[in-house]
Amino acid sequence: MRIIIIGYSASGKSTLAKNIGEIFNIPVLYLDKVHYLSNWKERKREESTKIVEDFIKDNKDYVIEGTYSKIAFDLRIKLADKIIFLDFDRATCVCQAVDRFNKYKGTVRESMSEGCVEKFDLNFLHWILIGGRTEKRVNLFNKVVEENKDKTIILKNRKEVDDFLLEIKENKSI
């Protein structure tokens, strides 16, 4: 099963990916880890794309989490058996980002590159509220959903995610 998880920042993509990876015992690729080198330095797009392409080539089954529309996005969408879109509202994402910051403050999460210490600043808040929800970005998500209805699952809140995880644990399928 090839699963990709897309959605808004701080919607819980990494946590969901980790849980699905554990349930099905399949590898997880976190695109934040691909995009960033140590200390929040951005990796060159070509290098990031190659990492994703190699991961896809090397794994029959996997979870790839993160949107990053310029890193092999079309390939990921095309090859996915399931696309999970976390379509959470802004307020929930802000609350989850604050909770995550408080939980991981001063540390590096598993889904981040070495040296990328958890942070929450005005730039990130702006990204959650405005920059990550531009018309172009919303249209990208809408296009993915519209063109892939048969393989897309939309989850809009924590309860839906929790129910989804419970269901796949019980059924061992998505």
* Bridge partners, residue 155, by sequence: 86
CATH number of the domain to which 72 belongs: 3.40.50.300
Q: What's the total number of domains in the chain?
A: 1
| Closest of 101, 52, 82 to residue 145, by C-alpha | 82
Query: What is the C-alpha separation between 152 and 142, in angstroms, rounded?
Result: 11
Residuewise pLDDT in 10s, the chain (174 residues): 999 999 999 999 999 999 999 999 999 999 999 999 999 999 999 999 999 999 999 999 999 999 999 999 999 999 999 999 999 999 999 999 999 999 999 999 999 999 999 999 999 999 999 999 999 999 999 999 999 999 999 999 999 999 999 999 999 898
Domain that holds residue 8: 2-171
User: Model's pTM, two decimal places?
Assistant: 0.95
